[in-house]
Amino acid sequence: MMYSYFPIALTVFLMSSDPLKADDTRTESRDIKKEKLLSRIKRSPSYVRNTNYDKKWFNVLRTGIDTTREYLGNYGPLHVYIIGQESKELEDEAVKDAIIKAFCHCRHAQTKDRILGCLKGAGASLIKRARNNSTEAYLSYVDYTEPPLAELIFINPHGFDVPYLYTRGIHEYTHVFQRGFPGTPTWMTEGSAEFLAFYLGSKNEWINFERSMEESMRMVQSVEDDVSLVDFEDIEKIEKERPELKKYYRHIAYDAGVWAVAFLIHHSENHSVKSFTKDFYPMIAHAGWREAIKRYGKFDNIAEFYESFEKFLEEPNEKKMQMLNKLKP
């Protein structure tokens, strides 16, 4: 089903079937002390895009997102924004205003007193960044609504290579899924999303899983400073206490993280990727992420997991790749 909030080159879609180029998760919250979670729902994501922007970018992203929804389940509510300018699409004031209004009215449907501020602030910022040729992909999590709301925002997705753009949809929707469970360390949040992007992307023949993992290992091995996975449990703590490590965010949170997730799956009882999403994440809800790693990977404690992973990183690359071949669907 398709309908328009604003008939001026902006369409909102409801799919009835069911950085760096920036990439992160952001929380818009009034109360960060109490964690509010998404849930599995029947309602499909809504899509907002400027229709004078090439539709192929929307099609690629929707395919990646829908592939992941089918694998992980439909979590939400979710609004997806695809905003782009390859030539002068956003120079049209009517198009610009329609996007901003759609974004702010969706975000503040329950807090209408905040719409005006959004129109001049967060909403206007989307257009400004798109006009400035920024390429971004991220989850914005709004937890002052009831229920909480997930927003996937893609700005100028034409800036990504197409095979990689499919996996951006997978990566970002995995963050939506993760918001259905209590928080995990930064390396697991990004590592899990990257692992599923590689895994599902390869299953659909958009990318190659082994080559992607090899590239991530090269990134890990390029780090010269004394930094490890445990240092990236909390990115906010790094920003406050060890800002010099921020330059390794990609190398550790993503690239070491994706290997840590593969390592954890390999240590599980059945070595199954599906079990990781089906069984491990509910363990987090019941016992917290440290205890979940201990139980799922059969480690005595979290320290043993970290120590075992560091020893694994010292193994020859050929042996690391052999471990990947032992993972099961």
Q: What is the pLDDT of residues 79-90, one digit of tens each?
A: 999 999 999 999
Q: Which residues of 241-265 are buried (b: 16+ CB within 10 A; e: fewer)?
A: eeeebeebbbbbbbbbbbbbbbbbb
Is the pTM for the entire model greater than 0.85?
yes
In the predicted model, what is the mean pLDDT of residues 300-325?
Answer: 97
Domain boundaries, the chain: 2-178, 186-325
Least confident of 23-37, 84-98, 217-231: 23-37
Under the banding of pLDDT at 50, 70 and 90, the label for residue 34 is low
Length of the chain: 329
Whole-angstrom Cα distance, residue 249 to residue 95? 36
